[in-house]
Amino acid sequence: MNEISRTRRIWGLLTPATTIIAVFVAWQLLVTGLHVREVILPAPSEIIQALLSQPAWFAQEGLYTMATMLVGFALAVIVGILLAILIVEVKLLESTLYVLIAALNSVPKVAIAPLFVIWLGTGYGPKIAIAFLIAFFPIVIDSVLGLKSVPKDMLDLASSMRASQLAQFWRIRLPTALPSIFAGMKVGISLALVGTIVGEFVASDHGLGYIILTAQGTFETAQIFAANILLGAAGIVLFWAMSALERRCLPWHASQRQEV
Amino acid sequence: MSASVQRAAPAPPMIDTSLPPIHIAITDTSKRYGAAGVLALDRVSLTVREGEFLSILGPSGCGKSTLLRCVAGLERPTGGEISVHGETVRRPPANMGVVFQRDVLLDWRSILDNMFLQTDFRGEKRSRYMARAHELLDLFGLKGFENAYPTQLSGGMRQRAAICRALLADPDLVLMDEPFGALDALTRDQMNLELQKIWASARRTILFVTHSIGEAVFLSDRVVVMSPRPGRIAMTLTIDLPRPRRMAIREMPEFAHYCAQIRTLFGEMGLLKDE
């Protein structure tokens, strides 16, 4: 059984890696074979070349984007979960604030981005604000769902043991809601990255979004692709990190037991 | 034979001083949901003595679970009074263990950690109950599963763990709300035998809600049969069968007669059309 699961795990890593390599090889062959101009679609070799010509610059701007994104995401997690707790605890907030949040969620947050520049200037502020705003909604909504889905008999059990409301929250309701909260955070972290890039598009002189925008101006297509590949890699790493954290925090959770 | 049956009448006042003291006194208790809503319980009166095994039997919707929840302090009756050890129930009484239909084990706690939920709530030291915990696990055949997680156990084992959890702090009152309803017939029989054994060893008061006639007669000193809409006590039946009872007792004519009495009553209520 151990042998089988190990084989399966190796396959689980090998197949996506092989797929990605195959795509890049096909891309390289097509671009060189069909003589596609670099400005339209650069070959993978040209993208790697663009990355390697200024590695420090890409790293520095990439870290800038990451730091902004992580601050926005962290704020979204803290505010989102606290607000979800309030919404579930206070009946009045559920019929007012929660309805408002659900309604605002349908507004395209990207469209609000220019407002933040007016309010917060062109530094870290607007990017963090947009990353926060866009990641905040799924976290609040999923956390509320999780906190409300605690089975009634479980709370009855705790009451029959004369547990205080606070003790019930820590020992029953929060652990029950955690899988749902994690689901919201996994969606939120990808969205926070989107929000940061949008912020950098709107007004910035730093970050991967800024690289993409200036490269567009000078038709350096390979740079745009390089920045996007970095963003894609960052997205995968962040999602994977969240999944690893989830496995660590909720080893009991059903979705963790199935081999995916 | 109807001499041992009292229909819709509360037990007459007991004068015999050799009887154990009253544990639960339910007086004219009613429960209505909503201002003009369903009357789940209609002036129910019942006395349970210390160490008694009493089953509340009835079809779904007869208010038997509501009655149990009122005794547990999880719901407040809208009329009448319930007292435990002479004290009116306003919140869950101390020294009580509850077993629900679902085992309600917490997935993120091991079996042993689940058993310690109440002591954790109270902030008590686990070491005080550790010997008792292992004794219970042993008794219910869960030895070796202390560190297993609920998802790794079968339905029967999970419910056994839930019973262990209810018994850990040595409560003198155990309330059980259809605890074996979700189990297969064979496991259910096995659980009945184990429950009888644990009850005989410590003589706690057990209030047992079920819809199985055989289960109620097999386990109980007294069976209270309820009728639905509104929930009322239709019959109280004292089960005078020797203990410890073996499974084979179910083939004895006395046992069959008790069951027949209840079935006849269900038939009269129009709940059982046997033709």
pLDDT, block means (10 residues), chain B with 275 residues: 49 65 95 86 95 94 93 95 95 95 94 95 92 93 93 93 94 95 91 93 93 96 93 94 93 95 91 74
Check whether residue B63 and residue B119 sit in a common domain: no
Radius of gyration of chain A (CA): 22
Share of chain A above pLDDT 70, in %: 96
Please tell me the predicted confidence (pLDDT) of residue B17.
61
Query: How many angstroms separate the CA of residue A114 from the nearest CA in chain B?
Result: 45
Please judge whether B102 and A151 are an interchain contact, meaning their C-beta atoms are less than 8 angstroms apart: yes
- Domain membership flag for residue B68: yes
- Domain membership flag for residue B13: no
Check whether residue B140 and residue B235 sit in a common domain: no
User: Looking at beta carbons, which residues of chain A come within 8 Å of B111?
Assistant: none
End-to-end CA distance of chain B: 24
Residues present in chain A in total? 260
Mean pLDDT (whole number) for A45-68: 93
Domain ranges of chain A: 1-36, 52-257
Q: Which residues contact A144 (CB under 8 A, 6 or more apart)?
A: A84, A87, A88, A98
* Among chain B residues, CA nearest to A254: B151
**Between β-strands B205-210 and B173-177, what pairing exists: parallel, antiparallel or unpaired?**
parallel
Please tell me the predicted confidence (pLDDT) of residue B12.
56
User: CB of B62 within 8 A of CB of B226?
Assistant: yes
Confidence grade of residue A156 (pLDDT, cut at 50, 70, 90): very high
User: CB of A171 within 8 A of CB of B125?
Assistant: no
Please tell me the predicted confidence (pLDDT) of residue B14.
55
User: Looking at beta carbons, which residues of chain B come within 8 Å of A253?
Assistant: 107
Q: Is B2 exposed, middle or buried (0-12, 13-18, 19+ CB in 10 A)?
A: exposed
Check whether residue B120 and residue B256 sit in a common domain: no
Please judge whether A156 and B100 are an interchain contact, meaning their C-beta atoms are less than 8 angstroms apart: yes
User: Looking at beta carbons, which residues of chain A come within 8 Å of B118?
Assistant: 161
- Domain membership flag for residue B5: no
**Which string of b and e fits A46-61 if b means at least 16 CB within 10 Å?**
bbbebbeeeeeebeeb
Residues present in chain B in total? 275
- Domain membership flag for residue B256: yes
Confidence grade of residue A250 (pLDDT, cut at 50, 70, 90): confident
CATH number at residue B221: 3.40.50.300
Please judge whether B104 and A254 are an interchain contact, meaning their C-beta atoms are less than 8 angstroms apart: no
User: CB of B111 within 8 A of CB of B147?
Assistant: yes
Check whether residue B86 and residue B135 sit in a common domain: no
Pick the last residue of a domain from B171, B202, B225.
B171
Confidence grade of residue A259 (pLDDT, cut at 50, 70, 90): very low
* Among chain A residues, CA nearest to B99: A157
* Among chain A residues, CA nearest to B150: A252
The answer to whether residue B118 neighbours chain A at the CB level (below 8 Å) is yes
- Domain membership flag for residue B4: no
State the helix-helix crossing angle for A55-89 and A208-217, rounded to 10 degrees: 130
* Among chain A residues, CA nearest to B169: A161
SS3 label, residue A208: helix
- Domain membership flag for residue B242: yes
Check whether residue B188 and residue B257 sit in a common domain: yes
Check whether residue B232 and residue B209 sit in a common domain: yes
Check whether residue B31 and residue B156 sit in a common domain: no
Check whether residue B116 and residue B88 sit in a common domain: no
- State chain A's mean pLDDT as an integer: 90
Check whether residue B211 and residue B135 sit in a common domain: no
Check whether residue B26 and residue B162 sit in a common domain: no
What is the Cα–Cα distance from B166 to A140, expressed in whole angstroms?
Answer: 36
Domain count, chain B: 2
Mean pLDDT (whole number) for A224-231: 94
Poorest-pLDDT segment among A64-73, A97-106, B176-185? A97-106
Check whether residue B264 and residue B151 sit in a common domain: no
What is the Cα–Cα distance from A116 to A199, expressed in whole angstroms?
Answer: 9
B61: containing domain: 21-95+173-275
The model's pLDDT over A168-220, given as tens digits with 9 standing for 90+, comes to: 999 999 999 999 999 999 999 999 999 999 999 988 789 999 999 999 999 99
The CATH number of domain A52-257, selected from 3.30.2420.10, 3.40.50.10680, 3.30.70.1250, 1.10.3720.10: 1.10.3720.10
Interface test with B, best of A162, A166, A181 (most B CBs within 10 A): A162
- Domain membership flag for residue B216: yes
Please tell me the predicted confidence (pLDDT) of residue B37.
81
For residue B7, the cross-strand partners are: none
- Domain membership flag for residue B197: yes
Name the residue facing A252 among B72, B108, B122 (closest C-beta): B108
